[in-house]
């Protein structure tokens, strides 16, 4: 190809944006149809505006003065909008020759983006915050029945594992409803290995046997090997305070056993997870509130967890004395 032919080819590519003549004229016709539709709409709107704004009646002139001839109305609106339409048409035709123009690809999509309101420079863009994770262990669930209560005929009529699970499920439901991610765990759940959460609470209950009239109330204990003693003590204090308020049960600070302090899950979870174990009552003297007012019991546990997470004010918990 000689120099003149090469220049003509370059000029053709520049004018058509790399399109064939058929594709190029297809784009031009598409633009003309769209602009024609826009111009007709604008002219129609302008006519409606003019018809809905009649000029006020002139003040009556004295009879001795001749009325001047009425001036012809100026159809400014109808002249203005066609002019704008022609200008837009010309601009679009010129734009069609630019390879990187606004209308180089999907015209309708580009117009939609232009007409969609965009966020201003001062718009604050918020991102979803990750959910806080909480672990709830339903004591003995998935492993054994725990304490077993017998009726007068020696038949099993209540199992600790069932009571623990009922309370744990209500706590989970309440916390999930407030936006937390809550894992309901079995006693020896494989997920406990290295488990990481803002808090882990294991729910248990005390014996079914009658011991004495003092065998009523609840116990709370945290791990002896926790890395963050202050936070562990705060979790314990929150559970004691809020649970006691909700149930009016007595806190047995002096009857917490070594088994509670050395609960197996404490050594299995991630050492940074703050954890506690709560025995929500005695299945003998506290049976009624544990089985008939389960939502009240679960509410006390839930409020204790929220107290810890939300850093709510709480009264110090008496230092427990380990029972033999």
Q: What is the DSSP string of 178-200?
A: TT-EEEEE-TT-GGGTT---SEE
Q: Are 196 and 134 within 8 A, CB to CB?
A: no
Give residue-wise pLDDT tens across range 245-277.
999 999 998 889 888 999 999 999 999 999 999
| CATH number of the domain encompassing residue 215 | 3.40.630.40
Block residue for tokens 């791990």 = 223
* 22 and 170 in a common domain: no
Instruction: Please say whether the beta carbons of 317 and 236 come within 8 A.
Output: yes
Q: Is residue 320 part of a domain?
A: no
Range of the domain at 87: 3-53+75-115
CB atoms within 10 A of CB 227: 12
Q: In percent, how much of the chain has pLDDT > 70?
A: 57
List all residues 6 or more positions away from 225 whose beta carbon is below 8 Å from its beta carbon. Answer: 266, 267, 271
Note whether 245 and 101 are same-domain residues. no
**Rounded to two decimals, what is the model's pTM?**
0.60
Say whether both 183 and 293 belong to one domain.
Answer: yes
204 and 234 inside one domain = yes
Number of domains, the chain: 2
Between CA 198 and CA 185 the distance in angstroms is 15
Separation CA 308–CA 201 (nearest Å): 12
Residue 124, in any domain of the structure: no
DSSP state of 322: B
Q: What mean pLDDT is predicted for residues 43-53?
A: 55
142 shares its domain with 108: no
Q: Round the average pLDDT of the chain to a whole number and report it.
A: 78
Give tens-digit pLDDT for 208-253: 999 999 999 999 999 887 889 999 999 999 999 999 999 999 999 8
């Amino acid at each position: 190809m000689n120099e003149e032919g090469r220049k003509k080819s370059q000029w053709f590519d520049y004018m058509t944006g790399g399109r064939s003549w058929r594709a190029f004229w297809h784009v031009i016709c598409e633009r003309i149809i769209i602009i024609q539709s826009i111009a007709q709409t604008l002219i129609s709107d302008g006519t409606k505006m003019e018809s809905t704004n009649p000029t006020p009646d002139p003040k009556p002139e004295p009879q001795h003065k001749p009325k001047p001839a009425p001036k012809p109305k100026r159809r400014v609106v109808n002249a203005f909008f066609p002019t704008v339409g022609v200008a837009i048409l010309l601009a679009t035709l010129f734009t069609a020759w630019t390879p990187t123009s606004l209308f180089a690809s999907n015209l309708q999509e580009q117009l939609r983006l232009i007409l969609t309101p965009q966020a201003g420079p001062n718009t604050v863009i918020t991102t979803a915050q990750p959910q806080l994770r909480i672990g709830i262990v339903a004591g003995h669930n998935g492993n054994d029945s725990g304490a077993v209560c017998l009726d007068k005929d020696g038949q099993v009529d209540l199992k600790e594992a069932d009571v623990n699970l009922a309370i744990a499920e209500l706590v989970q439901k309440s916390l999930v409803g407030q936006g937390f991610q809550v894992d309901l765990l079995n006693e020896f759940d494989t997920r406990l290995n290295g488990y990481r959460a803002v808090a882990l609470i294991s729910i248990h209950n005390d014996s079914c046997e009658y011991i004495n009239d003092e065998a009523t109330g609840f116990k709370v204990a945290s791990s002896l090997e926790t890395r963050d003693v202050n936070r562990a003590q705060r979790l314990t204090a929150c559970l004691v305070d809020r649970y006691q308020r909700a149930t009016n049960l007595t806190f047995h600070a002096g009857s917490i056993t070594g088994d509670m302090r050395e609960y197996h899950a404490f050594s299995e979870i991630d050492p940074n997870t703050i954890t506690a174990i709560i025995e929500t009552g005695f299945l003998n003297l506290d049976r009624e509130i544990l089985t008939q007012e389960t939502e009240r019991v679960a509410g006390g546990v839930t409020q204790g967890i929220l107290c810890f997470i939300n850093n709510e004010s709480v009264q110090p918990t008496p230092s427990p004395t380990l029972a033999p």
